[in-house]
């Protein structure tokens, strides 16, 4: 198993005074650039430590939000491409459906792949609902735009003999010929995220790495949909390395301390959805049928525990989050057992995207969490033998 | 009062539903983004003196959404094709809000089949400077605030989706999505439209619910000023949707205008 260290690079002072919205419309006068600079340097330092400790690294981007100061992820990738030595650098994700210019995306990511000497994993995502007010892209049809941007980026990265032409629904170019071309051939690995079975199947057809977040013991159905799509293209069952799961992690030498740390990591879940309600569901982001259900006041549950209790991850307690495999928390032995138990349930999961820092966790707290996990849990996870690739649904 | 039948018609292989009611001079009613209910009183008031055709725009209600349609231009050409297919002449074209925008885009392209144009609280043009939003961002406010701004009497626009028939809730969800599809950005307008309105030479009535807080009266007057033969009238005790809040007065003003300006 690979373990990617991830933080959203938050600006935690904003939690003290946000008037009900941490995203989109929280005035940026509440961001002190001096504080922001210290935070960025600190987060990069923690990733440099993660590099030394044997982790891989995951970065993301969001816009106009105190929950994630990384509004332009190529900056963080660029810094880490130069400063880290061995970790893979996963961007999960790059919201390509929002970008005006996918040629620029292809150029940025190829350059980062070259500077890092082939360590880039490129995760392309639809983006959360709150991104549309800032990008002003139309949420209706954003997946069409996403797939055209995807097709274009892959074509740009894999065309080497002469400039090519692209005149399609969303993007227009006449002489595409990117320099530099990517280090990894034919192109850096593609990742994506989803919460729906239909998208999971499509990702399986492509054979891309599929990540889910907060899906807990509802993950298996998504993985199985992926497996179906993967095998429908005439391939054998996909290996565990095709699957990734974003889990919060809090480990400590005794259970009491671990639970306290777990509370601090879980602060991410409790704050991630603090946003002015109209920005939570732009038209077209969900299907018409799902919107009709929402209008009726029906909200489908998303997270389940192993024994099928429904939990709301925004308000659940630490023990509930552990039961739902949203948070892996406890002593090193407990955390190892929780992760392995979850992998077995999934039928294999080869990439743990570990949120080892969140909210206002201090540097010392974060370093201790990362170090203990790297020393006591990660070596055992590297040794762990994934369940054999399965061909059928659980 | 009769709730007339809902029919459907295919134009260029795009099937839309429409309400047809009354007889006499044809009147094409172009609904706002919130759609139009067959039970709307305004349809009967208009049908008392004209042959009303009220289609659900492509993508709205239960009308088909063609994959290639994503601009109001597409809708304007669709309606020009529809007028031609039905061979309608001397048509009164009435559009409210988003429907008014479609009506204006039709009229700048070809008014050969149109006798009169009525733009009621129409969106579609840019009036203020680049940092002034002319039209309230309806996607950035809760529905409860929208009805406060759009109606003089918010009760008229308040719905209980929990007790509404499924088909109607689905239609409302489709209307919301279709409005965004056509009008997300540039937001609710075509930057080119204002400079093309001089092409409209048919008698035009810009009818304005005086209590509209989605659009200002100033916006309506600017719309009117850009159209050579246009007249501006306010409807009191009505907001953004005067056809719903003052259906009698809405119909009355339209027919008075048509009579007063007919050759």
Give the B window 55-94 contacts with A, CB below 8 Å.
70
Q: From residue A90, give the alpha-carbon distance in Å to each of A2, A4, A93.
A: 12, 8, 8
Residue A242: which of A202, A190, A197 has the closest Cα? A190
- Give domain status of residue A393, yes or no: no
Dihedral, CA of residue B110, residue B112, residue B115 and residue B116, to nearest 10: 0
Ranked by mean pLDDT, which of A295-304, A311-320, A358-367 comes out on top? A358-367
Residue of higher predicted confidence among B107 and A271: B107
Q: Is the pLDDT confidence value at A182 over 50?
A: yes
Nearest-neighbour CA in chain A from B182: distance (Å): 9
Q: Collect all residues with Cβ–Cβ distance below 8 Å to A75 and sequence separation of at least 6.
A: none
pLDDT tens, B47-62? 999 999 999 999 999 9
Task: Show residues of chain A in contact with B158, CB under 8 Å.
Answer: none
Task: Give Cα A250 distance to the centre of its chain.
Answer: 18
Mean pLDDT of A358-378: 97
Q: Are B241 and B150 in contact (CB under 8 A)?
A: yes
What is the H or E stretch that residue A352 is in?
strand A351-355
**B229 contact A CB<8A:** no
For A29-37, the CB contacts below 8 A with 24+ separation are A30/A66, A31/A66, A31/A69, A35/A11, A36/A11, A36/A69
Q: Tell me the whole-structure pTM to 2 decimals.
A: 0.95
pLDDT at res. A84: 98
When CB atoms are compared, the residue of B70, B141, B177 closest to A283 is: B177
pLDDT tens, B92-116? 999 999 999 999 999 999 999 999 9
Q: From residue A334, give the alpha-carbon distance in Å to each of A330, A380, A385.
A: 5, 12, 18
Contact A279 B184 (CB under 8 A): no
Nearest-neighbour CA in chain B from A229: distance (Å): 25
Paired tokens of B128: 């203020």
Task: Show residues of chain B in contact with A279, CB under 8 Å.
Answer: 140
pLDDT at res. A388: 84
Q: Is the pLDDT confidence value at A366 over 60?
A: yes
Contact B170 A288 (CB under 8 A): yes
Q: Are A353 and A283 in contact (CB under 8 A)?
A: no
Beta bridge partners of B52: B21, B27
Q: Collect all residues with Cβ–Cβ distance below 8 Å to A83 and sequence separation of at least 6.
A: A44, A48
Scanning every residue of chain A, which has its alpha carbon at the shortest distance from the alpha carbon of B172? Answer: A292
pLDDT at res. B5: 63
pLDDT at res. B263: 66
Q: What is the number of domains present in chain A?
A: 1
**B167 contact A CB<8A:** no
- Give domain status of residue A356, yes or no: yes
Query: Residue A308: which region, alpha, beta or left (left: phi > 0; alpha: psi -120 to 50)?
Result: left
Q: Is the pLDDT confidence value at A301 over 90?
A: no
Q: Kindly write down the DSSP assignment for every residue of B185-236, as one continuous string.
A: TTTTB-TTTGGGGGG--S-EEEEEETT-SSS-HHHHHHHHHTSTTEEEEEET
pLDDT at res. B211: 98
pLDDT at res. B2: 44
Mean pLDDT of A372-376: 98
Please write down the HEC assignment for all residues of B122-142. Answer: CCECCCCCCCCCCCCCHHHCC
Of A288, A293, A296, which to mutate for an interface test with B (greatest number of B Cβ within 10 Å)? A288
Contact A295 B185 (CB under 8 A): no
- Give domain status of residue A391, yes or no: no
Task: Show residues of chain A in contact with B34, CB under 8 Å.
Answer: none
- Give domain status of residue A392, yes or no: no
Mean pLDDT of B3-21: 89
Q: What percent of chain B has pLDDT over 90?
A: 97
pLDDT at res. A321: 96
pLDDT tens, A214-229? 899 999 999 999 999 9
CATH number, domain containing residue A239? 3.20.20.30
pLDDT tens, B134-170? 999 999 999 999 999 999 999 999 999 999 999 999 9
Separation CA A140–CA B106 (nearest Å): 24
- Give domain status of residue A123, yes or no: yes
Q: Give residue for tokens 């990117």.
A: A178
Q: Are A187 and A158 in contact (CB under 8 A)?
A: yes
What's the domain range around A116? Answer: 2-383
Q: Are A223 and A201 in contact (CB under 8 A)?
A: no
| Reported confidence tier of residue B86, pLDDT bands at 50, 70, 90 | very high
Nearest-neighbour CA in chain B from A314: distance (Å): 22
Q: Is the pLDDT confidence value at A65 over 80?
A: yes
| Reported confidence tier of residue A18, pLDDT bands at 50, 70, 90 | confident
Q: Collect all residues with Cβ–Cβ distance below 8 Å to A256 and sequence separation of at least 6.
A: none
Scanning every residue of chain A, which has its alpha carbon at the shortest distance from the alpha carbon of B140? Answer: A278
- Give domain status of residue A353, yes or no: yes
Q: What are phi and psi of A25, to 5 degrees?
A: -115, 15
Nearest-neighbour CA in chain A from B68: distance (Å): 9
Q: From residue B31, give the alpha-carbon distance in Å to each of A383, B20, B115, B121, B140.
A: 65, 14, 19, 12, 22
| Reported confidence tier of residue A393, pLDDT bands at 50, 70, 90 | very low
Query: Residue B159: which region, alpha, beta or left (left: phi > 0; alpha: psi -120 to 50)?
Result: beta
Q: Is the pLDDT confidence value at B1 over 70?
A: no
Scanning every residue of chain A, which has its alpha carbon at the shortest distance from the alpha carbon of B164? Answer: A296
When CB atoms are compared, the residue of A277, A284, A297 closest to B177 is: A284
- Give domain status of residue A342, yes or no: yes
pLDDT at res. B4: 55
Separation CA B204–CA B230 (nearest Å): 4
pLDDT at res. A302: 74
- Give domain status of residue A388, yes or no: no
* Domains of chain B and any CATH numbers: 6-261 (3.40.50.1820)
Mean pLDDT of A337-355: 97
Mean pLDDT of A107-132: 96
Mean pLDDT of B76-99: 98
Q: Is the pLDDT confidence value at A104 over 60?
A: yes
| Reported confidence tier of residue A394, pLDDT bands at 50, 70, 90 | very low
| Reported confidence tier of residue B194, pLDDT bands at 50, 70, 90 | very high
pLDDT at res. A245: 98
């Amino acid at each position: 198993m690979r373990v990617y260290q991830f933080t959203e690079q938050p600006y935690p002072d904003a939690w003290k005074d946000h008037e009900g919205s941490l995203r989109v419309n929280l005035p940026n006068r509440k961001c002190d650039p001096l504080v922001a600079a210290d935070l960025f340097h600190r987060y990069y330092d923690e990733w440099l430590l993660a590099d030394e400790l044997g982790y891989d690294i995951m970065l993301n981007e969001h816009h106009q939000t105190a929950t994630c100061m990384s509004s332009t992820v190529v900056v963080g990738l660029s810094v880490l491409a130069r400063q880290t030595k061995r970790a893979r650098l996963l961007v999960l994700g790059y919201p390509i459906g929002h970008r005006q210019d996918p040629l620029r995306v292809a150029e940025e990511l190829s350059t980062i792949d070259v500077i890092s000497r082939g360590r880039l994993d490129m995760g392309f995502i639809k983006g959360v609902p709150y991104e549309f007010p800032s990008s002003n892209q139309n949420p209706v049809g954003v997946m069409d735009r996403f797939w055209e941007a995807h097709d274009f980026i892959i074509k740009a990265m894999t065309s080497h003999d002469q400039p090519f032409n692209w005149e399609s629904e969303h993007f227009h170019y006449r002489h595409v010929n990117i320099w530099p071309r990517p280090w990894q051939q034919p192109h850096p690995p593609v990742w994506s995220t989803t919460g729906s079975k239909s998208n999971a199947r499509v990702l399986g057809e492509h054979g891309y790495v599929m990540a889910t977040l907060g899906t807990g013991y509802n993950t298996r159905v998504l993985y199985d949909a992926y497996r179906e799509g993967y095998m429908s293209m005439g391939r054998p069952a996909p290996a565990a390395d095709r699957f990734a799961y974003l889990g919060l992690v809090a480990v400590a030498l005794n259970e009491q301390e671990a639970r306290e740390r777990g509370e601090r990591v879980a602060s991410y879940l409790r704050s991630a959805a603090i946003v002015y309600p109209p920005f939570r569901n732009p038209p077209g982001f969900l299907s018409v049928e799902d919107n009709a259900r929402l209008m009726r006041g029906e909200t489908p549950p998303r997270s389940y525990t192993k024994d099928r209790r429904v939990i709301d991850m925004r308000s659940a307690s630490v023990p509930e989050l552990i039961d739902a495999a949203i948070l892996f928390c406890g002593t090193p032995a407990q955390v190892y057992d929780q992760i392995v138990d979850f992998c077995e349930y999934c039928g294999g999961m080869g990439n743990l995207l570990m949120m080892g820092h969140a909210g206002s966790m201090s540097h010392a707290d974060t370093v201790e969490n990362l170090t203990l996990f790297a020393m006591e849990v990660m070596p055992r996870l590297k040794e762990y033998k994934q369940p054999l690739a399965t061909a059928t649904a659980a | 009062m009769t709730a007339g039948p809902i029919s459907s018609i295919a134009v260029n292989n795009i099937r839309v539903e429409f309400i047809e009611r009354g007889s006499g001079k044809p009147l094409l009613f172009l609904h706002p983004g919130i759609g139009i209910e067959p039970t709307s009183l305004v349809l009967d008031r208009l049908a008392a003196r004209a042959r009303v055709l009220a289609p659900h725009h492509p993508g709205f209600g239960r009308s088909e959404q063609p994959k290639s349609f994503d601009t109001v231009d597409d809708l304007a050409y669709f309606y020009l094709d529809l007028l031609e297919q039905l061979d309608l002449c001397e048509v009164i074209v009435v559009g409210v809000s988003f429907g008014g925008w479609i009506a204006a885009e039709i009229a700048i392209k070809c008014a050969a089949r149109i006798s009169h144009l009525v733009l009621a609280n129409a969106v579609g043009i840019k009036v203020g400077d680049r940092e002034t939003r002319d039209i309230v961002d309806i996607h950035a406010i809760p529905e409860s605030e929208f009805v406060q701004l759009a109606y003089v009497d918010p009760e008229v626009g308040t719905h209980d989706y929990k007790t509404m028939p499924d088909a109607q809730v689905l239609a409302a969800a489709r209307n919301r999505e279709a409005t965004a599809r056509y009008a997300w950005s540039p937001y609710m307008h075509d930057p080119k439209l204002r400079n093309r309105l001089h092409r409209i030479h048919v008698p035009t009535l810009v009818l304005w619910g005086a209590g509209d807080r989605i659009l200002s009266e100033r916006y309506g007057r600017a719309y009117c000023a850009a159209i050579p033969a246009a007249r501006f009238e306010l409807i009191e005790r009505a907001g953004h949707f005067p056809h719903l809040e003052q259906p009698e007065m809405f119909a009355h003003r339209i027919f008075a205008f048509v009579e007063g300006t007919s050759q």
